[in-house]
Structure 1
Amino acid sequence: MSLSFDLPSSRTTCTSKIFRPGDGITSPRLVHHGASRVGVWVIPLADRNSTDLALAVGPAAYVLMNRETAYFGETKNINMRFSKHFADPAKAFARVAYVVVGYPEPWSNKDPAFYLQYHLWSIAQAARHVVITNEWTPTIPRVRADERAEMERILEDARQQLFDAGCLALDSYFDRVPVVSSTERDDDPIGPNDMEPMLIDIVATPPAGGELELNYVGLWARGYPTSDRGFVVMPGAEFRWPINGSAQGIVDTRRSELEAKHALATIPGAADRKRLLVAVWFPSAAIAAKVITGAHIGSRVWVPRRYPQPIIIAN
């Protein structure tokens, strides 16, 4: 089964307009078209003390980029948010910002920005044209039924205008990136204890209120720490199959052991992921995270479950 990430379009043709308020080909510019309520500001970040960010007014979703790396965010005030980003070494890669705003009138609240951040991130994650450096999965937006069509139209317009503006994070003529080696921070380097063998297909019972979930590029996985400083990953966990260039050899070794025990299965329609079929004990939460994600990261990606109690949906 193949998955398509093309959005349905109610238009057959349209004309995007480019407005440059200043001088120079590479100066800030606004991309928009008359049938849309969305505009995209393209703002170079070479001069981080410039006043160009003031051009983007109101709540916004944005993409920070260089040639092969992207970060997706949202904010109600671009100036305030970017002043924090400029002081963050993890955002130092950015050379240009693509800022999506309500146009010609700013959005009255952050709902469109929340919606765009998650869905633009999700599309780019699936397309894999760039390395995505978001450390946390964006919040899944809640949309009322009577607002869904409006939000989908905003997303459609934003995606098209981002491409017209030169953003190749979602749609591109070029090949996908071969590996996903981002600005990962490893808080837990592999130690001697991590070399202990895994225990595959164990009986696992999470303690009440003690189960954690993985927060990394949208992967679904749950587990819990054990009294021996180990960590148990529960059946159903998703393994991101590409292994980053920064990951150590033990990641590939442990995955080969799991496959030899038939503990992993392919996921129909998701060629870049596999499903864990049994519970597995790892020597630490850090090595469990590394093996699942294929990335050089630490135990910080294991976080308390957002919804620890069952959710009851009444008709």
Structure 2
Amino acid sequence: MTLFSSDNSVQAACTNVHRPMGGIEGLREVHDDVGRLSVSAFPVAMIKDMSMSRAAVPACYILADHATAYIGETGNVGRRLSDHYRDQSKAFAKEVYVVSGYQGGWLDTTAALYLQYRFTKIAEQAGLVDIMKGVNPQVLELPSHRRAALDIFVEHGERLLFDAGCRVLRSNFAGQRRAVAKAETVEPEDTGPMQIGVVTTPPVGSELELAYGDLWARGFPAAEGFVVMAGSEVRKAVNPSAPPIVASRRDELTEAEALVPIPGVQDRERLCVAVCFPSAAIAAKVVTGAHVDSNKWQAPRYPRPILIAG
């Protein structure tokens, strides 16, 4: 029985949801009868129980909550997710969605990279959540026949992700879009003057690091606001959800020649001087190019050098 006419259906795909561990909120394995992919969806807390031997396969994956998503790729999804589970910057995530080859085949590392790139673009255009990035996804130079085959993977993967409950690429809830639009505003204190080239030293024990993907940045609270230290990285891209002031602050830094290239790195620049921002929140937004807040500045995971015995 169906509630709607299916006479004009273009594709007669049937999505199958398997719950190998039982229950409703645990592991779900989603596959349909026309594709070569499967999506495994599960709570982040289940990462610690993953079988590393079974999960040593190429995959594209999404870490998400209702407001933020991180889209990655890997040749060994079990090991990579274990790394993320220990990473404070990924603590926002509540759910994991892994796109891999059905029954362990079909999807290789090139396909995983392509899915990451395309899913990231789709998510940014949808504007449903803020996309956290470390290194920008790679644009692959592929022959047309290979790209055409991978575009089918994108189409199938997008459908399976939706059926698995992922609302990063598509959603029927307009409330998600309104949340992103509201995020474009900034607090009045964030619009104050920015001081470029300040000379100051962090008080002992006050230094903080930015927990945002693989971006490296250090800073500390100061009487005038928040100082981001020289040597910190600044992500080149600016997310659509970031407030307009982020772009204007970036222009100021560029005009003052405060940003220099990083050899061998295309998606980031480095601060060559210390910069004092009006607040920790606007400092985080400008450095990441994303709508993040001040709680991204956290105590360093490794405050002291790691000594290796000779």
TM exceeding 0.5 = yes
Residue 93 (structure 1) aligns with: 92
Asked if 1:215 is matched to 2:236, the reply is yes
Q: Distance in 1 between matches of 2:42 and 2:101?
A: 16
TM-score, normalised to structure 2, is 0.60
Q: Distance in 2 between matches of 1:106 and 1:81?
A: 19
Q: Distance in 1 between matches of 2:247 and 2:50?
A: 51
After superposition, the Cα gap between the structure-2 partners of 1:54 and 1:17, relative to the gap in structure 1 and judged at 3 Å, is: farther
Q: Which structure is higher in helix share?
A: 2
Residue 61 (structure 2) aligns with: 62
The alpha-carbon deviation at position 20 of structure 1 amounts to 1.1
For residue 126 of structure 1, give the secondary structure of its aligned residue in structure 2: helix
After superposition, the Cα gap between the structure-2 partners of 1:141 and 1:254, relative to the gap in structure 1 and judged at 3 Å, is: closer
Residue 284 (structure 1) aligns with: 258
The alpha-carbon deviation at position 164 of structure 1 amounts to 0.7
Q: Distance in 2 between matches of 1:122 and 1:253?
A: 20
Residue 135 (structure 1) aligns with: 134
Unaligned runs of 5+ in 2: 1-8, 185-209, 227-233, 260-270, 290-310
After superposition, the Cα gap between the structure-2 partners of 1:254 and 1:14, relative to the gap in structure 1 and judged at 3 Å, is: closer
Asked if 1:174 is matched to 2:173, the reply is yes
For residue 62 of structure 1, give the secondary structure of its aligned residue in structure 2: strand
Deviations 1:189-246 (A, max 9, x none): 7998x9xxxxxxxxxxxxxxxxxx96325x8xxxxxxxxxxxxxxxxxxxx68418xx
Q: Distance in 1 between matches of 2:287 and 2:211?
A: 16
Residue 284 (structure 2) aligns with: 296
Unaligned runs of 5+ in 1: 1-9, 195-212, 220-239, 245-250, 259-275, 302-315
Q: Please provide the CA RMSD for this pair.
A: 4.1
**One-letter amino acid of the counterpart of residue 243, structure 1:** P
Residue 145 (structure 1) aligns with: 144
Deviations 1:135-187 (A, max 9, x none): 33111122222212110000000011101110000001123122568965764
Asked if 1:243 is matched to 2:217, the reply is no
- Give the 5 Å matches for 1:225-240: none
Residue 27 (structure 1) aligns with: 26
For residue 49 of structure 1, give the secondary structure of its aligned residue in structure 2: helix
**One-letter amino acid of the counterpart of residue 216, structure 1:** A
Q: Distance in 1 between matches of 2:103 and 2:34?
A: 11
After superposition, the Cα gap between the structure-2 partners of 1:254 and 1:125, relative to the gap in structure 1 and judged at 3 Å, is: closer
After superposition, the Cα gap between the structure-2 partners of 1:178 and 1:18, relative to the gap in structure 1 and judged at 3 Å, is: same
Equivalent pairs, count: 226
Residue 44 (structure 2) aligns with: 45
After superposition, the Cα gap between the structure-2 partners of 1:133 and 1:40, relative to the gap in structure 1 and judged at 3 Å, is: same
Residue 158 (structure 1) aligns with: 157
For residue 296 of structure 1, give the secondary structure of its aligned residue in structure 2: helix
Q: Distance in 2 between matches of 1:130 and 1:161?
A: 19
Checking the alignment, whether the CA contact within 8 Å between 1:188 and 1:298 is kept in structure 2 is no
After superposition, the Cα gap between the structure-2 partners of 1:16 and 1:108, relative to the gap in structure 1 and judged at 3 Å, is: closer
TM-score, normalised to structure 1, is 0.59
Q: Distance in 2 between matches of 1:72 and 1:48?
A: 16
